[in-house]
Chain A
Amino acid sequence: MEALADCLETLRKGEADLETCLSRYPVYRAQLRPLLEVATLIRPLPDEVAPSPKFRERARQRILWQDGEDSAADLSLDPNTGPA
């Protein structure tokens, strides 16, 4: 468990490649490799994924103006279905 956590953290920080990490734990090499390879398949979300400024402002106003009185179902931000 510690070896996996250490290798993942090392890879995350870009301090070493997969083979270098594995070479530090020869006893666990066979178990670690497939888990580390799977971990490398998981891509972080691109930084560009973010709510639009328009949505942020509109939702902020609606949430605070509702003041907990209405149901979440009434909070649709779709201009065709949401509250006026």
Chain B
Amino acid sequence: MRCIPVMSALASSLVDHEGNRMLKLHTRRALDEQALVEGAIRRDPEAFGELYDLHVVRVYRHVYYLVGSAPEAEDLTAQTFLQAWQAIDRYEARGAPFLSWLLRIAHNLAVSHLRGRRDNSQLQDTVVDETPRQNPEEACEQKVDEERVRRAILKLGNDQRQVIILRFVEDSDYREVAEIMGKSVAAVRVIQHRALSALRKQLQVEGLG
């Protein structure tokens, strides 16, 4: 098993030599995440910091889609990692990647946050991918449609919502979704089927789909 202090020394020397944080990140990604988790459980802040570097973007993107606001996504992302750091000694891998634990915390925090909003489906920043070929009217229509789809996704049950976001918004494959959710691939497919059916009904109510 690798030793955290050796890993830290190696990565630190690379950073000192190159002054390049990205190199440190790439180096870390090749190392064993489990060793970092074990280090974090021993309250090694550098180990937890490396886990943060590895997963902060993924957690942020997941939360951002749910809340639709960059400032709120930042606060919830920070809270996710703080809760994880506070509870790291209670973390049990059970064969699932560390990211799955983080995303569960993030998802719960975001859903709780949305429940606290007066209008829990209101989108503050719009998540939209505008292509240069679009004229303003098309871009606006697409924005409205995407907002309706996002609202409909938010109205799904917890498992269905998570499968849809992981599969279609974050482009995860079945195996990764299954790992993150602690379910079998077969179960994920069943949930996906039901989620798309529910989403279709919801969108028909909204005038889409």
Consensus secondary structure, chain A interface? helix
Number of A residues with CB within 8 Å of any CB on chain B: 37
- Once the chains bind, are A45 and B196 in contact (CB under 8 Å)? no
For the complex, give the distance between the alpha carbons of A56 and B21 in Å: 12
User: Once the chains bind, are B168 and A37 in contact (CB under 8 Å)?
Assistant: no
A35: which B residues are within 8 A, CB to CB?
193, 196-197, 200
Per the bound structure, the CA–CA distance linking A45 and B43 in Å amounts to 34
Q: CB-CB < 8 A to B82: which residues of A?
A: 63, 66, 68, 72, 75
A-B contact pairs, 30 of them (CB 8 A): A4-B193, A4-B196, A8-B167, A38-B203, A39-B168, A39-B196, A41-B209, A42-B153, A42-B168, A42-B199, A43-B127, A43-B129, A43-B149, A45-B170, A49-B60, A49-B61, A49-B127, A50-B57, A50-B60, A50-B61, A59-B77, A60-B52, A63-B52, A63-B81, A63-B82, A63-B85, A64-B85, A67-B85, A72-B83, A75-B78
Chain A positions near chain B (C-beta within 8 angstroms): 1-2, 4-5, 8-9, 12, 34-35, 37-39, 41-46, 49-52, 55-56, 59-60, 62-64, 66-68, 72, 75-78
